[in-house]
Amino acid sequence: MVREPIPRLFALLGDPVAGNPTQEIVEDAFRRLGLDWRYVSTRVRPDDLAAAVAGLRALGFAGAHVTVPHKVAVVPLLDELSAAARAIGAVNCIVAHDGRLIGENTDGKGLVSAVSAVTEVARARVLLFGAGGAARAIGVELALAGARSIRLVSRDLARRAGVTAALAGIGAEVVDEPWPEQPITPSDATLVINATTIGMPSVSSADALVPVAWNDAAPGLIAADVVIAPSTPFTEAARAAGVTAVGGVDMLVEQAVLSVELWTGRRPDRAALRTVLEREITAAEGDSAVQEGAPR
């Protein structure tokens, strides 16, 4: 009797992972590519992360996604980092190759890829709200893609300074400023990005809007939001003013495409990935856990 080859194994490492749609997205992509591979979502507490990574090695896992709160803590447990992951200082995707675990970060790549479908990123003048992990990853990828300038706006002085230093370190033209008392007029921007938590269900109504004066937007302006939802107050306000908006769903689809391609060497069906993601978001509507998204 001829035995089938042992399926390759992949995992999501995070805490929490309940409600995260990535397992369904990735396994659907594997099936469509004709691959009998497996993906499992595993809750890993911070104190168990080192053991979990050692388990990936011992069990021969071919790759993994890493989500909150492990994206930074996992870095010293890996053998190698991509240039982007090194600049960002965080990993959300692991690729096993020749016995080595290589850390990648697709957070910013997903957004840049989604935006690139509607406009040219090179030479873009960016207004970026936020200074957390998502903003840092997005800023790094925009800089590597040739963005002309990045204007960073955040309430957190220390985080803002850290992101500014990281971007300046890779040659980006960046200025940072505190959260404004009045909406910012994006007249000199070509791309406005919300990389904050504003728009997530857990955020209070007092913080529901990113301070942008959309009615004063320059022609051709593009808006992009990292919040994983079909629409958010940010994208709704942008579209109401005639601005083209890219949402977090677009970003997460691109992240999934990139991860599957890193693991398989083949590009999955983007439209099919979107269909599965939208189905899972609808099924989990009202569950704030889905707002995190695994690759982010």
Residues with catalytic function: 71
Q: What are phi and psi of 247, to 5 degrees?
A: -105, 175
The Cβ of residue 196 has, within 10 Å, a number of other Cβ atoms equal to 25
- The DSSP code sequence of 242-264 is T-EEE-HHHHHHHHHHHHHHHHH
The helix (run of H) or strand (run of E) holding residue 30 is helix 22-32
Length of the chain measured in residues: 296
Sign of CA dihedral 142, 134, 192, 179: negative
- C-alpha 100/C-alpha 77 separation (Å) is 11
The helix (run of H) or strand (run of E) holding residue 80 is strand 80-81
Contact 87, 165 (CB under 8 A): no
Q: Tell me the angle at which helices 248-264 and 22-32 cross, rounded to the nearest 10 degrees.
A: 50
Find, among 155, 159, 137, 131, the residue nearest to 92 by Cα. Answer: 137
* DSSP state for residue 164 in the 8-state scheme: H
- C-alpha 55/C-alpha 291 separation (Å) is 28
Instruction: Note the Cα 219 to chain centre separation in Å.
Output: 27
Which residue shows structure tokens 């990535």?
22
